[in-house]
């Protein structure tokens, strides 16, 4: 699966989506790309455009040489899985029912999940290590567990590309790291993943490519070690940081804010 974004632009609109301009990048199998940038810089809007939840105003997005603006919605949903920032279902569905919903793109309007769909959903719960929550109500589990459930749902969708909007934002420290491990494991199976984040350290941990976005523009894009620099961080977030390489079992760079 290859995703290519060419000169993509979106103007700010009345529904509150912030805009972006002339975005270009390409992603291949097994690559993890993180989009880093301050609040309201257009990260979420860009993700929504990649999934055609919102239409681009200019430019193109192609999925294996097919322009997504010409693909029917079911076909996009079969290829692209999307995990939104906040997920609040209106009903206290059981965890299994929530995950089963991920089978929707594979089912016709009049169909409901078969035994096979049930097995796929159960398998995704097992993959995420939350099979024991199967019959629990979605409203009875913790925020971290919910995020894992939504992850299981997107796995049940069996997409060939994943879009994650700040997947770690509502998780505690331990769950953040656990989730990043899952992201890495999924990428290792060949699934390309695009996620947005607020944490430079997370980028060092899982990303192959990072894009830094400010006011709707990619100001830099490439390998994390080259892109996440003290000067770039200062430029985007307006705070001084130190970036160090940590040896030993860690073997990666870390980003530390400088405080007086």
Partner 1 sequence: MIDAEKHKMNNKKFTLRRFGKLNGVSTWTIPVVLLVVLFIFSFVMGRYPISPLNVVKILGSHILPVFHFNSGILDTIVMQIRLPRILAAMIVGASLALSGVSFQGLFRNPLVSPDILGVSSGAGFGAALAILLSGNQLAIQVSAFCFALLAVGISYSIGKMVKGNPTLSLILAGMAIASLFGALLSLVKYVADPVNQLPAITYWLMGSLASVGQKGLLYAAVPMLIGITVLILIRWRFNVLAMGEEEAKALGVDTGRLRIIIVVCCTMITASAVCISGTIGWVGLVIPHIGRALVGPDHKKLLPVCLLIGAIFLLLIDDIARVVASVEIPIGILTAIVGIPFFILLLRKGQRGWA
**Residue 104 three-state SS:** helix
Single out the segment in contact with partner 1 by CB under 8 A; choices: 34-42, 58-66, 70-78, 250-258.
70-78
Pick the binder of partner 1 from 22, 55, 64, 111 (CB under 8 A): 111
Q: How far is the CB of 89 from partner 1 (least distance, A)?
A: 6
* Residue nearer to partner 1 on the CB measure, 124 or 232: 124
Pattern 143-172, binding to partner 1, x per CB under 8 A?
A: --------------x---------------
Q: How far apart are CA 4 and CA 66, in angstroms?
A: 10
Span near partner 1 by CB under 8 A; candidates 26-34, 96-104, 185-193, 215-223: 96-104
**213 by DSSP, 3-state: which?**
strand
The per-residue b/e assignment along 150-170, b for 16 or more CB within 10 angstroms, e otherwise, is bbbbbbbbbbbbbbbbbbbee
Edge-to-edge order in the sheet of strand 193-197: 80-83, 161-164, 193-197, 32-36, 209-214, 217-222
CB contact at 8 A, 214 and 236: yes
Select the span of 25-33, 106-114, 173-181, 241-249 touching partner 1 (CB under 8 A).
Answer: 106-114
Please report whether residue 217 would count as binding partner 1 according to CB under 8 A. Answer: no
Using CA atoms, how far residue 132 sits from 99, 136, 137, 154, in Å, is: 13, 8, 12, 18
Q: What is the closest distance, in whole angstroms, from the C-beta atom of residue 82 to partner 1 in the complex? A: 4
User: x/- string (CB under 8 A) for partner 1, residues 2-21?
Assistant: ------------xx------
| Cβ distance to partner 1 smaller for residue 37 or 102 | 102
- Establish if 237 lies at the interface with partner 1 (CB under 8 A): no
Would you count residue 177 as binding partner 1 (CB under 8 A)? no
Q: What 3-state DSSP class applies to 257?
A: strand
For 120, the enclosing helix (H) or strand (E) is helix 115-127
The answer to whether 78 contacts partner 1 (rule: CB under 8 A) is yes
Our finding on whether 57 is near partner 1 (CB under 8 A) is no
From candidates 7, 24, 69, 89, binder to partner 1 by CB under 8 A: 89
Among residues 36, 41, 46, 76, which is the contact residue for partner 1, using CB under 8 A? 76
DSSP labels, 4-48: EEEEEEE---TTSPPPEEEEEEEE-TT-EEEEE--TTSSHHHHHH
Q: Note whether 91 binds partner 1 by CB under 8 A.
A: yes
Return the closest-CA partner of residue 179 out of 252, 129, 126, 253.
Answer: 129
Chain positions contacting partner 1, by CB under 8 A: 14-15, 48, 51, 53, 73-78, 80-82, 84, 87-94, 97-98, 100-102, 104-105, 107, 109-113, 131-137, 139-140, 157
């Amino acid at each position: 699966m290859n995703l290519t974004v060419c000169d993509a632009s979106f103007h700010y609109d009345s529904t509150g989506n912030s805009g972006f301009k002339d975005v270009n990048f390409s992603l291949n199998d097994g690559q993890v790309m993180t989009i880093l940038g301050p609040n309201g810089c257009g990260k979420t809007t860009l993700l929504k455009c990649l999934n055609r939840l919102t239409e681009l105003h200019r430019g193109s997005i192609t999925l294996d040489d097919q322009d997504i603006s010409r693909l029917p919605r079911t076909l996009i949903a079969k290829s692209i899985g999307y995990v939104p920032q906040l997920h609040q279902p209106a009903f206290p569905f059981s965890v299994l029912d929530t995950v089963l919903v991920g089978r929707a793109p594979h089912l016709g309007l009049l169909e409901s999940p078969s035994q096979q769909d049930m097995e796929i959903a159960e398998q995704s719960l097992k993959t995420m290590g939350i099979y024991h929550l199967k019959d629990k109500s979605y409203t009875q589990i913790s925020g971290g567990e919910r995020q894992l459930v939504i992850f299981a749902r997107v796995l049940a969708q069996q997409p060939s590309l994943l879009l994650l909007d700040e997947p770690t934002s509502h998780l505690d420290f331990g769950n953040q790291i656990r989730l990043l491990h899952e992201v890495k494991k999924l990428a290792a199976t060949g699934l390309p993943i695009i996620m947005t984040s607020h944490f430079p350290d997370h980028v060092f941990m899982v990303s192959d490519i990072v894009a830094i976005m400010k006011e709707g523009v990619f100001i830099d894009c490439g390998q994390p070690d080259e892109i996440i620099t003290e000067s770039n961080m200062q430029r985007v977030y307006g705070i001084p940081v130190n970036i160090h390489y940590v040896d030993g079992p860690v073997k990666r760079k870390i980003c530390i804010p400088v405080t007086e």
